[in-house]
Structure 1
Amino acid sequence: MRALDDGSPARALERRISDASAGGARRYAFGVARLACSTSGLKDARTLEVALGGLERYPEIDDLAHLWDLERRLDASCARQVGGDPVDFTQEELLLHPACQEARAVSAVIAALMPDAFVAARGATREARAAGCHQADLDSTASDLL
């Protein structure tokens, strides 16, 4: 990922997140998590339910355990698909493999649950990018929710 300079769209989005209310940042985090699920084609009903519910129906411990287990299984599948440790591959190479995209979408949902709303929004954004979301889609989600 290129460095964030002051004029970059990613830096502008970061400023929007920082300037948002905590509630706005949280809504954005879950909106981005839903976007990542959609972009990646993730079909896991439980993960989608958590992403759609946001904090209106805070997930139970078994929901969290399911998310973590699913992320772990998808990460392992990603490693098999790429033929090695995913950290050794570029973002473009990882996007060619569905399990890699889906793993990052699950990570976006997990990130949206972080206790600090601003950390949640930044983490969900980072994972959504890794799941294949385009900057324009992230900006559109921010326009709708921040």
Structure 2
Amino acid sequence: MELHRVEAVAPGLAARIAGAEPASARTFAFRVARLACAVAGVHDANALEVARGGLERYPEIAELVQLWDLERELDAACDDRLEAATVARSLQELQQPSECVEARAVGAVIAALTPDAREAARGATYEALTAGCDGRALEALADELF
């Protein structure tokens, strides 16, 4: 069986997710997505609404397409910034560009919508970690739910 990416970076949290009830895992996924959006400073109203609404108001197809388009645009902007930074001279220039962080936060929102609740929680957690969320904050969320 292949390991999920989150198991490589947060094995304890991944184990807690694996043992969680599906409803708790789904709630965790959306809370993680909201945290990632807050940390990354996501301003897109659609991404924020989906992260806040969870499955109480499942997004329409048009909203999902907007999320995927936003993530793709942010990823492209991230790639452009990273390419431009190949000759970076300062530490600040070497830090992950905001477009990259925001793309991963939007990725957490998209991951939270994955049909399998535990997979949604694992995916959202991985994206949140790559967006810069503190692992201790994610552990605290897990403590509330699992």
On the 8 A contact 1:74/1:100 being kept in 2, the answer is yes
Amino acid at match of 1:97: P
- Any runs of at least 4 consecutive aligned residues in structure 1 with deviations exceeding 3 A, and if so which? none
Q: Alignment RMSD, CA only?
A: 1.9
Which residue in 2 is equivalent to 1:88?
Answer: none
Unaligned runs of 5+ in 2: 85-92
2:40 paired with 1:40: yes
On the 8 A contact 1:95/1:131 being kept in 2, the answer is no
State the 1:95 CA deviation. Answer: 5.2
State the 1:96 CA deviation. Answer: 2.5
**Structure with the larger helix share:** 2
Question: How far apart in 1 are the matches of 2:11 and 2:112?
Answer: 19
5 Å matches for 1:23-62? 23-62=23-62
Q: TM-score, normalised by structure 1?
A: 0.85
Unaligned runs of 5+ in 1: 85-92
Which residue in 1 is equivalent to 2:132?
Answer: 132
Q: TM-score, normalised by structure 2?
A: 0.85
Which residue in 1 is equivalent to 2:78?
Answer: 78
Which residue in 1 is equivalent to 2:13?
Answer: 13
Is the partner of 1:56 in helix, strand or coil? helix
Question: How far apart in 2 are the matches of 1:95 and 1:137?
Answer: 21
Is the partner of 2:141 in helix, strand or coil? helix
Question: How far apart in 2 are the matches of 1:94 and 1:145?
Answer: 36
Sort the Cα spacing of 1:62 and 1:140 in 2 relative to 1 into closer, same or farther, 3 A: same
Which residue in 1 is equivalent to 2:87?
Answer: none
Amino acid at match of 1:128: A
Higher mean C-alpha deviation, range 23-32 or range 134-143: 134-143
Amino acid at match of 1:134: D
5 Å matches for 1:57-68? 57-68=57-68
* Higher radius of gyration, 1 or 2: 2
Is the partner of 1:140 in helix, strand or coil? helix
Q: Number of paired residues?
A: 133
State the 1:119 CA deviation. Answer: 0.5
Give CA-to-partner distance per residue, 1:74-95, whole Å, 9 cap, x none.
Answer: 00110111117xxxxxxxx885
Question: How far apart in 2 are the matches of 1:109 and 1:74?
Answer: 14
On the 8 A contact 1:95/1:101 being kept in 2, the answer is no
Is the partner of 1:43 in helix, strand or coil? coil
Question: How far apart in 2 are the matches of 1:48 and 1:145?
Answer: 21
